[in-house]
Chains A and B, each alone.
Chain A
Amino acid sequence: MHLTAFAVSTQLARLNWIDILVIAIYFAIVVFIGFYLRGSSNTSEEFFMAGREMTAWIAGLSFVSANLGSLELMGWAGSAYQYGILAMHWYWIGAIPAMLFLGIIMMPFYYISKTHSVPGYLKLRYGDGARALSAVSFAFMTILMSGINMYSMAIVMKVVLGWDLNFSIWVSSITVAVYVALGGLKSAIYNEVLQFILIWTGALLVPILGLIEVGGWSNLRQQIATNLGRSDYVHLWSTLGHFSDNPMGVNWFGIVFGLGFVVSFGYWTTDFLVVQRVLSADSIRSARMAPIIGAAFKMAVPFIVILPGLLALAVLPFHLVAQDVAVQTGQHSFNEVLPLMLVRYCGPGLLGMGVTALIAGFMSGMAGNVSAFSTVWTYDIYGAFLNKKATDRHYVAMGRWSTLIGVLISVGTAYLVQHAASIMDYVQQLFSFFIAPLFGTVILGMLWKRATKEAGFWGLLAGTGTSIGLWLWVRNDPSALRYVAMSPDAKDMAENIYRALWAWIVCVLVTVVVSYMTKPRPVAELEGLVYGASVLPKEHDDHWYQRPILWAGIVAAIFIFLNIVFW
């Protein structure tokens, strides 16, 4: 998202003292939680893994909330305005199957291996090479993403409320630093649960009142078709036959295999930002249920993110424009659609709650990034390579300091982005470079006993190199997109999806080839790490309706039903 567009727009609303009170209540509670939990974060297990005592519900809500950053909320609402209901794919096929797969298939291996992180699992499965590569890339990109989230939040506060950029950046980042450094992962998780509730209570009125205004879903579809003169904005699958048949410029193959398989499985099953929340569960059953609970809520998020974007197409008396046009003309850009809809329906008090929802989205995203960074830095870089024999107390202190330093680097990134907005576009794509191949490395490691130490490292490196290479190719020669995405009609979204698919394929191929060229590890060493070499602990459910597979089936059935309804 290119957010310089925000900076040229005029202020949308002015908060009164009730709105300020609503925001102040929120800040007071999140800081109180940090101080309250300070006493229960004294050991590394407590600080980095929340003592592994979170229930399935808490871990599950935190799992979804850590993903609901400000970029996620406002970016996808803007994408819904720009591309129509196709943006929903990033919430449904681009999330639900992967989350269920994590809960049913992968979580037992993460959990019984007792790893503290995804790079930590790679160390157990493949050795130090793969661990170092994934830890360094993850730590670097996570902290940059945190800064970008911070800048996007601050710029929205400037546009919507006229708040000073420095004020927004420093107040929110110091708050996150205080509660994460004091209470560790438990504090981050507790606040993420609160933030998830706040996001819903603050944003839910927009789709409710919007649907009342337009007269229901059927009228909304008609109104969009009338306003735009085309009907492809409200169909989820029927326009995906060819790249040129839909506003997004993608096809069904890319959505199913690129987004639904590689990108989605890569993010939801190997990005430590979200996986860390599930690793904090109090039992293997909770660890399996958490992603399933998260999937159920994730399926509902489009109601407060995608639907407002669609409603804006029907009810706003003016058109939103692309970012570059907004910069030149001073109009509102796609990315401002969620704040615009909040201002449309919310008076004093409710507007404060809506703004609090946006701030909460930012804080949950940033806390997720910072706590994951702190863990990977302390366990997988500092503790693994720089200082292997320190005391537990020393590592906890390092965790607190790395949290503070991580926040400071994020602030620096936010200012860097302010002066070079294109960095933001690049960094987000850079982040995707590592996720798709990482999924190939992890999934082969979990499901294939033959995968070797050398293959894990070289497969990951080759996949990442492929992704970066394809990205550079298209940047230097835009016409190369026809080869990367396999169509001259493909657009940006298709490029990202297909690039991930190629990176994953190369990673898997290299891993398989190198595995057969190198000596496998004895099966006995793979106990607890690989399917077929591990005995999973028996789970005892008191009742049949407590079984994770049952709830995964119910979520899957609702997922299929919704896709058919909005076909």
Chain B
Amino acid sequence: MRESFSIWWFAGILLLAYGVVIFSTGIWELSHPLANPPVLNNLHAPIWWGAMLAVAGLGYTIGFRPRQTVNKRRK
């Protein structure tokens, strides 16, 4: 059986990668404040938004990881 990648696995990888990058940026900005911060920068949106993306991405990456057997969810 040919191993296939689910579209949801791709989505998980993408969200996980973005979550890690955005979250890391938010953490970095805590110690290196921006010269021209956006409006409501005090809410630290990159930290919580990045964390949410990473958690969602991790869930999809694991839940739809490629397997050797046929899986009905895969498409």
Contact = CB atoms under 8 A, between A and B. Distances in A.
Nearest to A59: B75
Given A344-B38, A348-B34, A197 B5 contact: no
Interface in B36-75: 37-41, 43, 45-46, 49-50, 53, 75
A29 B10 contact: yes
B29 to A, nearest CB: 7
A213 B41 CA distance: 11
A347 B7 contact: no
Nearest to A193: B7
Interface in A167-208: 190, 193-194, 197-198, 201, 205
B5 A36 contact: yes
Give the interface SS of chain A, mostly helix, strand, loop or mixed.
helix
B38 A21 contact: no
A349 B11 CA distance: 18
A343 B34 CA distance: 14
Interface string A208-233: 01001100000000000000000000
Contacts of B46: 347, 349-350
Give the interface SS of chain B, mostly helix, strand, loop or mixed.
helix
Contacts of A205: 45, 49
Given A36-B5, A190-B7, A190-B10, A55 B75 contact: yes
A20 to B, nearest CB: 11
A54 interface: yes
Interface residues of A, number: 33
Nearest to B53: A201
Contact of A193 (B11, B15, B21): B11
B10 A33 contact: yes
B38 A347 contact: yes
A25 B49 contact: no
A488 B49 CA distance: 49
B2 to A, nearest CB: 9
Contact of B39 (A53, A194, A345): A345
Given A347-B38, A348-B34, A350-B49, A201 B43 contact: no
Given A54-B75, A58-B7, A345-B45, A353 B39 contact: no
A405 interface: no
Contacts of A18: 21, 25
* Residue from B13, B40, B41 with most neighbouring chain A CB atoms (10 Å): B40
Interface string B3-34: 00101001101110110011001100100001
Contacts of A408: none
Interface in A3-28: 18, 21-22, 25-26
Contacts of A22: 18, 21-22
A315 B38 CA distance: 13
A33 B9 CA distance: 12
A543 B26 CA distance: 46
B37 A347 contact: yes
A42 to B, nearest CB: 14
Nearest to A315: B39
A347 B34 CA distance: 8
Contacts of A21: 21
A421 interface: no
A213 B18 CA distance: 25
Nearest to A21: B21
19 contacts: A18-B21, A22-B18, A25-B17, A29-B14, A55-B75, A58-B75, A190-B10, A193-B7, A197-B15, A209-B39, A213-B39, A213-B40, A315-B39, A345-B39, A346-B38, A347-B34, A347-B41, A348-B29, A349-B50
Nearest 10 pairs between A and B by C-beta?
A: A349-B25, A349-B22, A347-B38, A190-B7, A55-B75, A209-B40, A344-B39, A345-B38, A25-B17, A197-B11
Given A197-B15, A344-B39, 8 more contacts: A21-B21, A22-B22, A25-B21, A29-B10, A55-B75, A315-B39, A347-B41, A350-B45
